[in-house]
Amino acid sequence: MKTYLFTIASVCAVMVSSLKAVAADSSGTSSLTWSGFVDAYYSRNFNDPISRVNQYRNFDLNENQISLSLVDLKVQEEARPVGFTLELGFGPTSDYVNIASTVGAPSPSLANVMQAYATVVLPVGSGLTVDVGKFVTHMGYEVIPSQDNWNYSRSYLFAYAIPFYHTGIRLTYPVASNLTAALHILDGWNSVIDNNKSLSLGATLNYSPTSTTDIVFNGIWGHENLTPIEDGARNVYDFIITQQLSDAFSLALNADYGQAGTTAGLQMWKGIAVYGRYELSSVSALALRAEVYYDPTDYTTGVTLPKATLKEYTLTYEYHPWSPLLIRIEARDDFANGKVFDSASGSPTKSSQPTLTIGLVTIF
């Protein structure tokens, strides 16, 4: 497996170098940019689950073992007025994202393609940006690359409330200097081939009333249920606000509400997460996340409890000794309103799940 990933990464690096050389103009500057990272972690679950799995997580699943999470390589050409983005991913996180299909199996030919889309900036007003292809979702505060979040592990909102990616068209327009709007015309949730005759619509409004405040509203609407025989609407509303209180201290809030019409009746899920981050120095920081997620009919999580409720508290210490290296040490405790977490006995006998994780990301 390690040899396979190293070979893939080497081939990609050679490919990118060749593309940069071809794209270089007479001045010697390249129109392509490339970047990437390697993400690995060690997680210790103090419940000692015999399954060696952290329950109800998504990317930091493996317990008591050194694990590779994701090898990522991104190549981009700025749209002037035409460009593209190609992002490849290898490892368990890429597998997890690309098997999270709404229904059925994902396309094997796109299993390692995290994003692949063409971009055109049309001369409409201030410039209408059109992206066509496969791209990550517009929903949620957290993202797939761990270094772009404040914590190493992901929230329940990221894992269960929203999609990971879409295939379709994204239209983005700067309405004003502090307001950007986007319309998304999508094949559905986590799919490259639509499983029904209905497209989904998404929307984003990003408003910055001040230089230190961002308010974002996201929505997605469509007939995209978990099984192809169900034709009910599946809609999610996503709200994000971030506030920079000082040069060192920042706060954020993310709230989601979703519902789906199914053969078993109307399903609903909702949750809220609050975040704080404080920079201790130019190379270190502390981040705290507190979250509650409500999934009363186990539609999104599979937690088979009456009025299932999950909570988690996560404290993360970040150390960035050199620009290519990011180290995070994270203490997290998950709670449920019943015994759903595995233990050494091999059955769910715990209502909480304390873990300690060390994440290491090398960025290039």
> What digits encode the pLDDT tens for the residues 134-182?
999 999 999 999 999 999 999 999 999 999 999 999 999 999 999 999 9
**From 99-103, 209-213, 347-351, the region with the lowest mean pLDDT:** 99-103
Residue 196 has pLDDT above 80, yes or no: no
**From 23-27, 94-98, 132-136, 233-237, the region with the lowest mean pLDDT:** 23-27
> What digits encode the pLDDT tens for the residues 79-97?
999 999 999 999 999 999 9
pLDDT band for 359, please (50, 70, 90 cuts).
very high
pLDDT of residue 263: 83
Query: Which has more pLDDT, 110 or 125?
Result: 125
Domains, the chain: 75-321+329-353 (2.40.160.10)
pLDDT band for 198, please (50, 70, 90 cuts).
confident
Mean pLDDT of 20-27: 44
Mean pLDDT of 234-252: 97
Mean pLDDT of the chain: 89
In whole angstroms, what is the distance from residue 315 CA to residue 318 CA? 10
